[in-house]
Chains A and B, each alone.
Chain A
Amino acid sequence: MAKIEITDLNFYYGDMQALHHIAMSVPDRQITALIGPSGCGKSTFLRCLNRMNDTIPGTRVEGSVLLDGQNIYAPGTNVVDLRRRVGMVFQRPNPFPQSVFDNVAFGPRVLGLTRERDLHELVEESLHRAALWDEVKDDLHQDAQQLSLGQQQRLCIARTIAVEPEVILMDEPCSALDPIATLEIEELMKKLEKEYCILIVTHNMQQAARVSDWTGFFWLGKLVEFDATQTVFTRPSHKLTEDYITGRAG
């Protein structure tokens, strides 16, 4: 069964329709990449999955997004809890101006997920899972903003993991990183997929090809093709996909 089942999803910024009848089954414990040119709707779609678009005035959603069979747009949905279950990592690493420890402990403290004395264990485990522990364990109280950009992004992933999400949304998580830091994040994603459902939006087709199990190609607000990544990148079903991935369209 899919972790997230999207059916006939339409999204509007005022009168402008940004997403058209999107249907997709997102599998659990695998990585799904969303590719397409700028403005094709892939980030808008991603933000629909934890209702981040709710914060933008004048927007409207139609259709359904089922998370484990429950429609996240149903009246009475606890949006705070939804965003805990469906965490998000952003384009630019955005650590709080606090210590490494406090960054990771922030979510659990705010949500009251754990007692203060258990926090150390949770922070350590989250940093381990984000493949950052060995690099910061000697000084957990150093300023998070002093870390390299790649480390900051892994810290943001640790911060996301610390609130025990089920789904991790990543919106261009490597666009600010150098190639080595990018590969480190990609390798981390491959480890995390064993425990989480991961969706990544990326401008970088090669990254989608390297890291994902499934790929969705968006064009002008429509989902043109959604298939196993190796199929999309070796024998796509649609000419438009072929033209885009071979650099002939977009």
Chain B
Amino acid sequence: MIRETFERDLQRLQDETLILGSMVENAILESVGVLKRRDVEGAKRLIAQDRFINQKRFDIEEEALVLIATQQPMAVDLRTIAAVLDITHELERIGDYAKGIARISLMIGEQPLIKPLVDVPRMAEKACDMLHRALEAFVTQDVVLARSIPPEDEEVDDLYNQVYRELITYILSDPRRIEGANYLLWVAHNLERSADRVTNICERVIFTVTGEMTELDSDTGLAGLS
């Protein structure tokens, strides 16, 4: 291999992106976990930990810029580094959604949830599963896998629409529940947006491998408004 050193650096950049992805996945799952457990301390910890995600993103960005400046990447190498910059941005934003959910936990405080969380954890699990596979598609450069994930966003959208309708019913039956319903609606919204960002990551994977810029948007119903 002629450019062994560069290949190694490029591989490390992708590995670091996977690590960031794993941090973000944990943050999303944990944000819903602390909400479900009503774990105020856990929510505070999660909010504080977002800075590690942000820092990791900056570190990867710095490494990517150094590689561009020093190694003159071309073609697929250049596209890979450009994709890393985009993907880490998406991951950092998903991390912010997790932080947002943790903040909602703090705002709800000691009040009981207006309904048991059933669909919200399912949304989180689905979004994280999609994210995990999207990053797998990135490191294995698997276009087929990347194309197969965005249609699954519909499942998350359906859950979101379902949560919305359910919360509206709660509000209509007792207007005092508006605030509590609104909090949960924001949680669901953050999870729905997280899954949307996974679609953006899949678009970047396709761009990396084929050079083709594609739009894989599949938002339906309420989800299509944001």
Interfacial residues, chain A to chain B (CB-CB below 8 A): 180, 183-184, 187, 190, 206, 209-210, 229-230, 233-234
B69 touches A233 (CB 8 A): yes
B70 touches A233 (CB 8 A): yes
Instruction: For the complex formed, measure the closest distance between the CB of B76 and the CB atoms of chain A, giving whole angstroms.
Output: 16
Bound-state CA distance A193–B164 (Å) is: 62
Bound-state CA distance A233–B62 (Å) is: 12
Bound-state CA distance A206–B70 (Å) is: 7
The closest CB in chain A to the CB of B67 belongs to A230
Bound-state CA distance A184–B70 (Å) is: 17
Q: Which residues of A contact B110 (CB under 8 A)?
A: none
Q: Which residues of A contact B213 (CB under 8 A)?
A: none
Residue of B4, B6, B70, B72 contacting most chain A CB atoms (<10 Å): B70
A210 touches B2 (CB 8 A): no
Q: Is B182 an interface residue (CB 8 A)?
A: no
B5 touches A190 (CB 8 A): yes
The closest CB in chain A to the CB of B70 belongs to A209
CB contact between A230 and one of B3, B4, B69 (< 8 Å): that residue? B69
| Known A229-B70, A230-B69; further 13 A-B contacts with Cβ < 8 A | A180-B2, A187-B3, A187-B5, A206-B72, A209-B71, A209-B72, A210-B6, A210-B71, A210-B72, A230-B66, A230-B70, A233-B66, A234-B69
Q: Is B65 an interface residue (CB 8 A)?
A: yes
Q: Which residues of B contact A229 (CB under 8 A)?
A: 70
Q: How many residues of B contact A (CB 8 A)?
A: 11
Instruction: For the complex formed, measure the closest distance between the CB of B160 and the CB atoms of chain A, giving whole angstroms.
Output: 42
B69 touches A209 (CB 8 A): yes
Can you list, as one digit per residue, whether each of B63-83 has a CB less than 8 Å from chain A (1) or not (0)?
Answer: 001100111100000000000
Residue of B6, B65, B69 contacting most chain A CB atoms (<10 Å): B69
A190 touches B4 (CB 8 A): yes
B2 touches A187 (CB 8 A): yes
19 contacts between A and B (CB under 8 A): A180-B2, A183-B2, A184-B2, A187-B2, A187-B4, A190-B4, A190-B5, A206-B72, A209-B69, A209-B72, A210-B6, A210-B70, A210-B71, A230-B66, A230-B69, A233-B66, A233-B70, A234-B65, A234-B69
Q: Which residues of B contact A233 (CB under 8 A)?
A: 66, 69-70
Instruction: For the complex formed, measure the closest distance between the CB of A180 and the CB atoms of chain B, giving whole angstroms.
Output: 7
Interfacial residues, chain B to chain A (CB-CB below 8 A): 2-6, 65-66, 69-72
Instruction: For the complex formed, measure the closest distance between the CB of A204 and the CB atoms of chain B, giving whole angstroms.
Output: 10
The closest CB in chain B to the CB of A209 belongs to B70
Q: Which residues of A contact B65 (CB under 8 A)?
A: 234
Instruction: For the complex formed, measure the closest distance between the CB of B77 and the CB atoms of chain A, giving whole angstroms.
Output: 12
6 closest residue pairs by CB, A with B: A209-B70, A233-B69, A230-B66, A183-B2, A190-B5, A234-B69
Q: Which residues of A contact B66 (CB under 8 A)?
A: 230, 233-234
The closest CB in chain A to the CB of B72 belongs to A206
Bound-state CA distance A184–B71 (Å) is: 14
Q: Which residues of B contact A230 (CB under 8 A)?
A: 66, 69-70
Bound-state CA distance A187–B65 (Å) is: 21
Bound-state CA distance A187–B66 (Å) is: 18
The closest CB in chain A to the CB of B62 belongs to A234
Bound-state CA distance A230–B69 (Å) is: 8
Q: Which residues of B contact A184 (CB under 8 A)?
A: 2
Bound-state CA distance A84–B11 (Å) is: 39
Q: Which residues of B contact A210 (CB under 8 A)?
A: 6, 70-72
The closest CB in chain B to the CB of A207 belongs to B72
Instruction: For the complex formed, measure the closest distance between the CB of B99 and the CB atoms of chain A, giving whole angstroms.
Output: 29
Q: Which residues of A contact B69 (CB under 8 A)?
A: 209, 230, 233-234
Bound-state CA distance A187–B69 (Å) is: 18
Bound-state CA distance A209–B5 (Å) is: 13
Q: Which residues of A contact B6 (CB under 8 A)?
A: 210
Q: Which residues of B contact A206 (CB under 8 A)?
A: 72
